[in-house]
């Protein structure tokens, strides 16, 4: 509850800060202060200190899972602000409004992480999506940015309409929006309920950019300003997966036989298309977009397996993936040339940044001793525990091997190619934050319990 109210209020504060504060550094510091406040109040709520007592009628429940996920998201967003807040100045003149929209998105994320009613799911998804349409098109003079926001808007509202149709069917079959009542509804599973569940599955798969509903993702990430593409590919994608797993765990947990095969097919398709297409990309930004589709395939394992391991694994995966991708996007944003060749000789001019980026890339590829390895391990273990569809696990390992190719291509460009990676300006804060990101990635890879411990106590 703390995070929900503070994030909404702070969004409004940020809007007014654009009028009241003349200096951009002031706006930036205010945003960082707000995010620190969010993180601290959320951690306080985990230990039982709730500032706001609101009667929610059980529509929103801030349980351990939701609060823990929110903490991961706020921590990632804080790192994101340290790395990229300065680069938002390049996007356009409405500096304060970008932060306001980011706070509204965080408000929506707290909703989708803790919903118990389909109404809250719908509101949360829309509160996340509508500011994202604006952020995608925020580079007003850039044709690609305009076009990306248009595509995102049309496909996004279409998928929202599909989701609403699904909710309407579920309501028609059970007469309620509350997950507890939907599960308890008597009688056999009706065709109406299955139709509603399938429509919800499709629309959530769209939001999480799961193949074959991924077509918007590469275009939108490519067209959007790089700072916001980074936010969308990490924090928002993590939120849509949390909503996805909550929906199918709470509402349709009893109907697992009906959807498990669907999930297996979607997982395999996502892994295949994401990894194979990423191999052929020439632009690093587009490669990262396809890599986010491929990583979504691994996150789909948690939905396919849906057991304790899967939930733990998803939380670890979200943390590992967000950290690494935010780091790589932040470095990419500093480059003037987004192709692989633009990174030639980067290790010579910026050894510290190149080393941190390499650790992030190794984590995404799933090399041992990094967080990416353990999170993939958790996912595959959860899938093996279901004792079904072992081919899926083998296929995932093969696809992880394919992903090594395009991640290592970037490392090769940085270390083993002669080139003139342009001298880029970085502040000491940026450099040290990158080192912290790399250190966190390794720390989580060696001691994942440091993170998961918080989940239980």
Contact residues: other proteins, CB under 8 A: 119, 122-123, 126, 130, 133-134, 137, 140-141, 143-144, 146-150, 153-154, 157-158, 160-161, 164-165, 167-169, 171-172, 175-177, 215, 219, 222-223
CA distances from 400 to 157, 267, 386 (A): 33, 13, 21
Nearest distance from C-beta of residue 163 to other proteins, angstroms: 9
Closer residue to other proteins, CB minimum distance, 130 or 402: 130
Closer residue to other proteins, CB minimum distance, 7 or 344: 7
**Which residues are CB-neighbours of 249 under 8 A, at least 6 positions away?**
306, 311
Whether the Cβ atoms of residue 297 and residue 267 lie closer than 8 Å to each other = yes
Whether the Cβ atoms of residue 118 and residue 177 lie closer than 8 Å to each other = yes
Closer residue to other proteins, CB minimum distance, 168 or 426: 168
Nearest distance from C-beta of residue 175 to other proteins, angstroms: 4
Whether the Cβ atoms of residue 435 and residue 355 lie closer than 8 Å to each other = no
Nearest distance from C-beta of residue 424 to other proteins, angstroms: 26
Whether the Cβ atoms of residue 393 and residue 326 lie closer than 8 Å to each other = no
Nearest distance from C-beta of residue 155 to other proteins, angstroms: 10
Could you give the dihedral angle defined by the CA atoms of residues 193, 61, 69 and 74, in that order, rounded to the nearest 10 degrees?
A: 120
Closer residue to other proteins, CB minimum distance, 283 or 349: 283
Tally of CB atoms within 10 A around 143: 9
Closer residue to other proteins, CB minimum distance, 45 or 97: 97
Nearest distance from C-beta of residue 11 to other proteins, angstroms: 15
d(CA 414, CA 325): 17
d(CA 74, CA 160): 26
Q: 3-state DSSP call for residue 178?
A: strand
Closer residue to other proteins, CB minimum distance, 100 or 451: 100
Closer residue to other proteins, CB minimum distance, 80 or 213: 213
Nearest distance from C-beta of residue 380 to other proteins, angstroms: 32
d(CA 281, CA 297): 19
Nearest distance from C-beta of residue 298 to other proteins, angstroms: 25
d(CA 169, CA 166): 5
Closer residue to other proteins, CB minimum distance, 33 or 161: 161
Closer residue to other proteins, CB minimum distance, 149 or 357: 149
Whether the Cβ atoms of residue 63 and residue 120 lie closer than 8 Å to each other = no
Closer residue to other proteins, CB minimum distance, 129 or 370: 129
CA 184 remoteness from chain centre: 32
Whether the Cβ atoms of residue 249 and residue 204 lie closer than 8 Å to each other = no
Closer residue to other proteins, CB minimum distance, 157 or 307: 157
d(CA 84, CA 443): 23
Nearest distance from C-beta of residue 454 to other proteins, angstroms: 34
Nearest distance from C-beta of residue 281 to other proteins, angstroms: 13
Closer residue to other proteins, CB minimum distance, 120 or 347: 120
Which tokens is 306 given? 């849906």
Q: 3-state DSSP call for residue 57?
A: coil
Whether the Cβ atoms of residue 61 and residue 7 lie closer than 8 Å to each other = no
Of 354, 376, 356, the residue nearest 366 (C-alpha): 376
Burial class (CB in 10 A: 0-12, 13-18, 19+), 155: middle
d(CA 199, CA 163): 6
Whether the Cβ atoms of residue 237 and residue 298 lie closer than 8 Å to each other = no
Nearest distance from C-beta of residue 282 to other proteins, angstroms: 14
């Amino acid at each position: 509850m703390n995070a929900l109210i503070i994030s909404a209020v702070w969004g409004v504060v940020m809007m007014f800060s654009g009028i009241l504060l003349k200096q951009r550094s002031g706006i930036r510091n205010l945003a960082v202060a707000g995010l620190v406040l969010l993180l601290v109040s959320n951690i306080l709520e985990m230990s039982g200190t709730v500032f706001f007592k609101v009667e929610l009628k059980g529509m929103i429940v801030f349980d351990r899972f939701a609060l823990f996920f929110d903490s991961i998201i706020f921590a990632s967003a804080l790192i994101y602000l340290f790395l990229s807040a300065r680069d938002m100045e390049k996007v356009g003149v409405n500096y304060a409004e970008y932060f306001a929209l980011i706070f509204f998105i965080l408000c929506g994320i707290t909703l989708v992480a803790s919903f118990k009613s389909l109404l809250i799911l719908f509101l949360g998804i829309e509160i996340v999506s509508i500011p994202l349409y604006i952020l995608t098109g925020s580079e007003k003079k850039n044709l690609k940015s305009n076009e990306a926001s248009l595509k995102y808007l049309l496909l996004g509202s279409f998928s929202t309409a599909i989701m609403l149709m699904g909710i309407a069917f579920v309501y028609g079959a059970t007469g309620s929006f509350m997950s507890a009542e939907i599960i308890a509804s008597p009688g056999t599973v009706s065709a109406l309920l299955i139709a509603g569940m399938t429509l919800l599955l499709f629309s959530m798969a769209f939001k999480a950019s799961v193949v074959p509903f991924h077509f918007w993702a590469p275009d939108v990430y490519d067209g959007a300003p790089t700072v916001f593409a980074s936010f969308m590919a990490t924090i928002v994608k993590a939120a849509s997966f949390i909503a996805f797993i909550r929906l199918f765990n709470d509402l349709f947990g009893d109907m697992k036989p009906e959807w498990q095969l669907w999930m297996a097919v979607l997982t395999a398709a996502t892994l295949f298309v994401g990894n194979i297409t990423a191999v052929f990309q020439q632009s690093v930004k587009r490669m990262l977009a396809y890599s986010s589709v491929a990583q979504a395939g691994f996150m789909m394992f948690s939905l396919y397996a849906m057991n304790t391991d899967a939930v733990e694994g998803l939380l670890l995966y979200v943390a590992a993936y967000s950290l690494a991708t935010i780091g790589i996007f932040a470095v990419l944003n500093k480059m003037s040339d987004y192709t692989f060749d633009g990174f030639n000789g980067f290790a010579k001019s910026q050894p510290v940044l190149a080393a941190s980026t390499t650790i992030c890339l190794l984590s995404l590829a799933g090399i041992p001793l990094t967080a990416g390895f353990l999170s993939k391990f958790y996912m595959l273990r959860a899938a093996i525990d279901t004792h079904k569809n072992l081919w899926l696990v083998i296929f995932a390992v093969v696809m992880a091997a394919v992903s090594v190719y395009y991640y290592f291509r970037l490392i090769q460009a940085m270390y083993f190619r002669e080139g003139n990676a342009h001298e880029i300006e970085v502040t000491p804060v940026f450099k040290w934050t990158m080192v912290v990101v790399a250190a966190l990635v390794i720390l989580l890879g060696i001691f994942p319990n440091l993170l998961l411990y918080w989940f239980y106590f």
